[in-house]
A and B are shown apart, each in its own frame.
Chain A
Amino acid sequence: MVREQRLVAAGVIFLVVAGAALIALRVRNLQGSHLSRGESVWRLTYDIEFPLGINERTYIAIPDDMRSSRIFRETFSHQGIWMDVLMTRRRLAREAAIVPVVGRQRARFIAYFDIHVRAGGENGLVPSEPKPSAEEIAHYLQPQSGVQPSSPVVSAVISRMQSEQASKGGLLTAIFNYCADGIVQQGIDAPSDANGTLHRGVGTTLGRARAMTALCRAAKIPARLVVGFALGSSQNAGKHYWVEAYSNGRWAPYDPENGYAGELPARFLPIRRDGVEIVRNVGSAAYKGRYSIRRLPYPPVLGAAPDNGIWSVFDLTRLPLGMQEVITAILLLPIGALVTAILRNIVGIETFGVFTPALIALSFVQADWRTGAVVFFVVLGVGTAARMILNKLKLLMVARLGVILTLVILCMVAAVSILDYLGLTPSASAVLLPMVILTMMIERFNVTVEEDGYRRALTVFAGTLVVALCCLFVLRIDALGRLVLSFPEVQLLNLAALLLIGRYSGYRLTELWRFKDLT
């Protein structure tokens, strides 16, 4: 007794001290290494509305990690569509592929991207990509919408330059000089295609970039048009266009508007490199896009600098975003275990299965709770009804469980499909309901009904729901998710709390009710 008490006390003290020390050390470390020169954090917001046609897909290009910038958080909220994130062919953009939901006329796509911009470094804005093949080189010399390398105006300009410049490098410089100095930038009425811009000597920012792209292609220098943003606080950020030209074995950025040649400062954020607009409709529907950019206060728990030595092992925020989500969910589970331990050992609530409530709660954390609740109760209801009918067939246990599992899954898939048909887009995470656990819960509910009656079965079910809801309320806290990801050391404190609960020998809250006749 006493020996165990001492061991647990020693363990708790060790865990608390170690956890607190590690967190303190890393906070200090972060403060030391952060706010370093040239770094900044921005939030880019997309708010795009577009009409939906049947079988018309829309692709929206979204920012991707660059060598000089990293997206450390992204959130999508959308109405009336299904979406998926994928890379385009040749990996020139990361796109949200959007499929309309049946029966919807308009869709709205809202997304936030939190971007950490590090100090530039050479080639920071150009992705590392393999040497382009002959076919790709040919592709970058072709005409494109708004880019007409073989038009007479373009040919005239380029032949004048070619007569003055012999080398390709000199020619590229001459083209850039011409577009940067020889074309006057004007507003929305100015031409925005290469031909018109070169013809009138006046163009929009897009027109100038297209003019340079067309001139490069006419001069047989592979070039591509880039659309992106210049980071800076703005409620209605305009798109920025520049050109990447392939020379001396690498893609180099040229910005005719600002005059940057060969290298862009890190404050530029390329979105798409294939000369198409950010929103690409396969149909030709008009869309309304609004982009805004605002600076974020430097978050204290942002990934440490990559050259932070061994400390970066503790920094889970350096992992890819998709993996971060999964790891956050996994790291939240021990917190769910703590909540369960408190509710079972200190409050004294009975549940079906030890971690069933925590797992159910976890699957709801990322789901829209309304869809989740509908699917949850439909699955439970149908499963229980099916189990009662199955009872008459007198099947062996494992086979019976298999049948219920199949029915649960079918019913869930049907629920998702029906919700979708009704235009209530279910969130994909609702599908992540732990089906096996629900099956076992249905089975145990039924066995309890048979053995101990409805009253008791419903009591334990209510207990399970209460614990699941408590877990959900705790695990849903956004800051908690970020905390467990940024400071995995929190798990040491969690362990200490679990050890303490494990040695709690006082009365449970429900025992105060149970034994009240003894006083």
Chain B
Amino acid sequence: MRRNLETFWVRTTRRRLLARPWELRKHGVLGINRRNIEYLFSLNARRLYGLVDDKIITKSLCAEIGVPVPQTYAVINRFGAFKALAATIGQREEFVVKPARGSAGRGILIIVGRDGGNLRTANGETISLNDLKYHVSTSLSGLYSLGGRPDRVLVERRIVLHPAFENLAVGGTPDVRIIVFRGEPVMAMLRLPTKASRGRANLHQGAAAAGIDLDTGTTFGGVCCNRATTIHPDTGAAIDGVSIPYWSRMLEIAGSVSRAVKMGYLGVDIVLDDNHGPLLLEANARPGLSIQIANRCGLLPRLQSARAQW
């Protein structure tokens, strides 16, 4: 007991509560204010946000430039389409319902099977068709959309987990986030859903992530809840040293998407489907900054050298 207390004391005193600003600057850490002022405002034109904020628009853009995306079963864009909802679903066992303008994985419902007339979700809950209709109607009225605007709802094919990520995902599908600066990938991470993130791959909701070496496509480092780690918090499996399949193809996709939306600072999210390979999930015009902790490295030096080359 006493020893425990002692080690606790040593640990807390040795670990400082806050970093010093000059230390962060020395490590090239990009903060939110600087990201907004120096990158988002000047590199991402406001009028282009619609291209990435609406997944349906992003998908059609991808179709034009030949970037593969998860297959769309249906788009629901008005309240009256409920009757069609049952017909759309038909006898499908697996599908995903997501609001077109949802952010941070909000409002996404993953159906993994049937239970008589009811549907089973990825969280292990059983919902009725009426529950699904209610979910669609709240999505349409804009509960999950940016700024509460009326929204559309996508019904998509469910991603089949690639065996490479077998032990790394809990309750959802991992994805790869690549930050692209003026068409050039500058940093990447593998995002892994956890129990805390409830199947979603968003770091601020509690997902874990590992940095990816851009040259080799192998993961290293790692983060969960803003703290450095190298293991998955739920399974305990090592999240570093994982080799990402199709890595060069993913970098190509990221580059061509960012060129197509003409944004200078973009986060591109790619999933790996066991049957179809890398698929573009969505793009993000305001990508988060925890990727720096996952990579044990600040973004600024990379952005500055990319800027110098450009």
Binary contact readout B183-219 vs A (1 if CB under 8 angstroms, 0 otherwise): 0000000000000101000001110000000000000
- Say yes or no: A394 contacts B143, CB within 8 Å: no
- Say yes or no: A396 contacts B141, CB within 8 Å: yes
Interface-central residue, A451, A508, A515, by most chain B CB under 10 Å: A515
Q: Among A396, A397, A512, point to the contact of B19 (Cβ < 8 A).
A: A512
Q: Which residues of chain A are near B142, meaning CB under 8 Å?
A: 397
In this assembly, does B34 line the interface, its C-beta being within 8 Å of a C-beta of chain A?
yes
Q: Which residues of chain B are near A452, meaning CB under 8 Å?
A: 204-205
Complex-state Cα separation, A492 to B36, whole angstroms: 25
- Say yes or no: A518 contacts B29, CB within 8 Å: yes
- Say yes or no: B24 contacts A1, CB within 8 Å: no
**Chain-B contact segment, one of A48-56, A72-80, A467-475, A498-506:** A498-506
Q: Which residues of chain A are near B23, meaning CB under 8 Å?
A: 519
Interface of chain B residues 118 through 170 with chain A (CB within 8 A): 130-131, 134, 137-138, 141-143
Complex-state Cα separation, A1 to B223, whole angstroms: 32
In this assembly, does A447 line the interface, its C-beta being within 8 Å of a C-beta of chain B?
yes
What's the nearest-Cβ distance from chain A to residue B227, in Å?
A: 6
- Say yes or no: A519 contacts B19, CB within 8 Å: yes
Interface of chain A residues 347 through 365 with chain B (CB within 8 A): 348
- Say yes or no: B17 contacts A517, CB within 8 Å: no
**Chain-A contact segment, one of B174-182, B261-269, B291-299:** B291-299
Complex-state Cα separation, A504 to B35, whole angstroms: 11
Q: Which residues of chain A are near B223, meaning CB under 8 Å?
A: 517
In this assembly, does A131 line the interface, its C-beta being within 8 Å of a C-beta of chain B?
no
- Contacts A397-B143, A519-B24: A511 and B292 contacting too (C-beta < 8 A)? no
* Tally of A-B Cβ pairs under 8 angstroms: 90
- Say yes or no: B19 contacts A505, CB within 8 Å: no
**Which residue from chain A places its CB closest to the CB of B27 in the assembled complex?**
A518
Interface of chain A residues 32 through 69 with chain B (CB within 8 A): none
Binary contact readout B39-58 vs A (1 if CB under 8 angstroms, 0 otherwise): 00010000000000000000
- Contacts A511-B31, A512-B20: A518 and B143 contacting too (C-beta < 8 A)? no
Complex-state Cα separation, A503 to B34, whole angstroms: 9
Q: Among A505, A508, A513, A514, point to the contact of B38 (Cβ < 8 A).
A: A505
29 A–B contacts from the bound complex (CB under 8 Å):
A1-B42, A348-B32, A394-B130, A394-B131, A396-B138, A396-B141, A397-B141, A398-B141, A451-B107, A452-B205, A453-B198, A504-B33, A505-B37, A506-B21, A506-B31, A507-B31, A507-B33, A508-B31, A512-B19, A513-B19, A515-B29, A516-B17, A517-B227, A517-B228, A517-B293, A518-B19, A518-B27, A518-B292, A519-B20
Q: A453-B205, A506-B31 are in contact. List 10 more A-B contacts (CB 8 A).
A: A345-B33, A394-B130, A447-B143, A453-B198, A507-B33, A511-B24, A512-B19, A515-B292, A518-B27, A519-B20
State the 6 A-B residue pairs at the shortest beta-carbon distance, nearest first.
A516-B19, A505-B34, A517-B228, A512-B18, A507-B31, A519-B23
Residues of B within 8 A of A (CB): 16-21, 23-24, 27, 29, 31-34, 37-38, 42, 106-107, 130-131, 134, 137-138, 141-143, 196, 198, 204-206, 223, 226-228, 290, 292-293, 296-298
